[in-house]
Structure 1
């Protein structure tokens, strides 16, 4: 593999029969004289993606500064990352541009995240960043400078954008699919990307494995070849705080409340301690609380079973696998289809019986099969998507994005409004 140039390696894997998806055409790649913009984050994946197209005459890199950490004594993460991007650009003889979307990130991603935490739900700002910044503001910036539809946007995400070759899937339509390399699949994080972005989006990592990418980076002697993968949100992981709770306490006021248990039979309420804010907890999280360990009824670890926003209470239960943590019906709001809604609804309807419709509400989790699915409209005119799962799932927290798949293809996603346990035939 190392004897081939990076783009030749990519083309080889893109055409490989074993890495294709039935019903879809092989991955389309930019042509030599196309305008190509590589979104570079300073990580090894986007660096290898840049190397693949660095020999193309109209290729360039672009780095987005979305956040400035002002409270840390260390060098801000965006400065370190920008320096790494410049090193990669110089190594590849690839021009790179830096753009600043901090204001957009603050308004479209950060402030909504804070509001969600204050309301007691569990948001995912990474998905919001992809929707509003990487495939929103960045595309608008490139449309203005290069012309709408006049460029390819290349990113280092592990996912695939493929065009259908089957009438059953919608002839010549574009879809977002899981990556070939399942351990790094990032399709969940891209589930809110607008459909209009897909025809000109190139995700080269989608047909590669992480070891292959690392090997390419090593062979090319890229400055980021041995850089660790990023973990979590940049503005938290690289700040002086290191943990989301310590970071958020700068922005969200504390509203103390009770930590309670509920008797499963009588419903009797017992107080065990105080919490500093609902935003500090998520469903399924282990709680460090002192319980009377001399009593067998209270020995062991305790977990968050519910967050009562109206009374500002945390309800806890004993044991990681406590039945109260497992639900098999989930209600989504603000569902965003990836494609035409009617086509998405038809795909769900036609494939439920075969067990090919499933969900994920966390990245890289084992997909959960859907047995029933229906769209409902509330009295206020709001649309809800209600799904019953074949098996109960642990810790489906309100606010999390829930993505619906038909086999490898993303059909769309919405945010979890509620979940509960029902009989399988209901």
Structure 2
């Protein structure tokens, strides 16, 4: 088959050993691109006392490239990942935040280090990944326009859409990124793998979670990197201490907190790193779990800054958002804060929002950007309001 455009011939594909990047490699080759499969080593297995899938994924990635007769390379980003993702991950947990390493990995590794490696070292014209996302330049950059800005668009498969994790993607990298499976349903991707006899990949269980945590539970993992603290568990309504814990980094807002001998189910409503106090409430629908607003760091706008938020203006910008990638989109109003961040008013009260998480913004089919939450507004309990939207 012929190339879609002569502009792009050589493509470096980030290949993980999974079915999405495998089918991406197959589609790229069938369209006539000169594809090189690149396996990114981001974590040193020697750091992993659990069951990291690194070696299995590496073998599967190499098997795929051999089967498709495309070059295979391994690039070591362990030091970069440690400094740009993992250290930040640990620091934010110590501060009582809830970070998202997947967003950071895309920002600093896949669409920064990998992009630079592919363009400047491998002399490729573009990169490709197995993300479920779309680009206004097309899945294979067939609508590419030089000196033009590109939009990040939702994937066809709503349940698998990964634009949430791409909310910090640099514009320059997105302009030269292909998403071969962005217009396919997951079922279609699996069917393509099956029809092309990629059974070793097709039958593989889909990986979930973060590799560097491995098979251990989170508390065991985080205890290896964060000093042990002790703190009080305080029931919000009574103001009384009802127990102790071993550090706020073990817990997230909205998480159930089992307390021996306590008659009711309790949930974390607030935590403070300075005092190590954890405040809990009874019941998952308690007003102390719900907020109506929050504040963020300066946002990253993928294509263009919304007109009402540009320099010299302080108008309200209304859009959709989510703070977890599986949550449905909701409405919010944005205004600039004095620190160039955003003050966000939510259309409906939301529960279990944590500082450190990313809030990601959408306008119709476009993911327009995102920002890290630095603080949440007062809860409905503090405001003396009741929960009317559950």
TM-score interval w.r.t. the shorter chain?
0.7 to 0.9
The aligned counterpart of 1:260 is 234
Closer, same or farther: CA 97–395 of 1 in aligned 2, 3 Å: same
Aligned pairs for 1:106-185 within 5 A: 106-147=82-123, 151-163=125-137, 173-185=149-161
Matched residue of 2:367: which SS?
A: strand
Matched residue of 1:207: which SS?
A: coil
Closer, same or farther: CA 33–303 of 1 in aligned 2, 3 Å: closer
C-alpha distance in structure 1 between counterparts of 2:231 and 2:372, whole Å:
26
Q: What is the Cα deviation at residue 195 of structure 1?
A: 0.9
The aligned counterpart of 2:259 is 289
Q: What is the Cα deviation at residue 77 of structure 1?
A: 2.4
The aligned counterpart of 2:304 is 340
Matched residue of 1:383: which SS?
A: coil
Does structure 2 retain, via aligned residues, the 8 Å contact 1:123–1:399?
yes
Q: What is the Cα deviation at residue 350 of structure 1?
A: 8.4
User: Are residues 1:325 and 2:286 paired?
Assistant: no
User: Are residues 1:60 and 2:36 paired?
Assistant: yes
C-alpha distance in structure 2 between counterparts of 1:328 and 1:121, whole Å:
19
Closer, same or farther: CA 271–214 of 1 in aligned 2, 3 Å: same
Aligned pairs for 1:194-213 within 5 A: 194-213=170-189
The aligned counterpart of 1:20 is none
Q: Structure 1 stretch 47-56 or stretch 129-138: which is displaced more?
A: 47-56
Does structure 2 retain, via aligned residues, the 8 Å contact 1:68–1:76?
no
Closer, same or farther: CA 163–349 of 1 in aligned 2, 3 Å: farther
Matched residue of 1:334: which SS?
A: coil
Unaligned runs of 5+ in 2: 139-146, 386-390
Q: What is the Cα deviation at residue 343 of structure 1?
A: 4.5
User: Are residues 1:316 and 2:280 paired?
Assistant: yes
Matched residue of 2:151: which SS?
A: strand
C-alpha distance in structure 1 between counterparts of 2:7 and 2:373, whole Å:
44
C-alpha distance in structure 2 between counterparts of 1:403 and 1:282, whole Å:
19
Q: Which of 320, 337, 346 does residue 376 from structure 1 map onto? A: 337
1:58-97 Cα offsets, whole Å, 9 max, x none, are 2111110000222557775222111000111111111111
The aligned counterpart of 2:360 is 403
Does structure 2 retain, via aligned residues, the 8 Å contact 1:257–1:313?
yes
Aligned length: 369
User: Are residues 1:69 and 2:45 paired?
Assistant: yes
Unaligned runs of 5+ in 1: 1-6, 12-28, 165-170, 294-298
Alignment root-mean-square deviation, CA = 2.6
User: Are residues 1:47 and 2:22 paired?
Assistant: yes
Q: What is the Cα deviation at residue 163 of structure 1?
A: 4.1
C-alpha distance in structure 2 between counterparts of 1:405 and 1:413, whole Å:
9
C-alpha distance in structure 2 between counterparts of 1:112 and 1:410, whole Å:
24
Aligned pairs for 1:241-260 within 5 A: 241=216, 243-260=217-234
1:281-303 Cα offsets, whole Å, 9 max, x none, are 0000011112442xxxxx3x211
Matched residue of 2:156: which SS?
A: coil
Closer, same or farther: CA 259–33 of 1 in aligned 2, 3 Å: closer
C-alpha distance in structure 2 between counterparts of 1:389 and 1:292, whole Å:
34
Q: What is the Cα deviation at residue 226 of structure 1?
A: 1.7
Matched residue of 2:169: which SS?
A: coil
Aligned pairs for 1:350-389 within 5 A: 352=318, 357-370=319-332, 372-377=333-338, 382-389=339-346
Closer, same or farther: CA 73–232 of 1 in aligned 2, 3 Å: closer
1:301-353 Cα offsets, whole Å, 9 max, x none, are 2110000223210000111111111111111113111133354836996863x
Does structure 2 retain, via aligned residues, the 8 Å contact 1:38–1:61?
yes
TM-score with structure 2 setting the length: 0.88
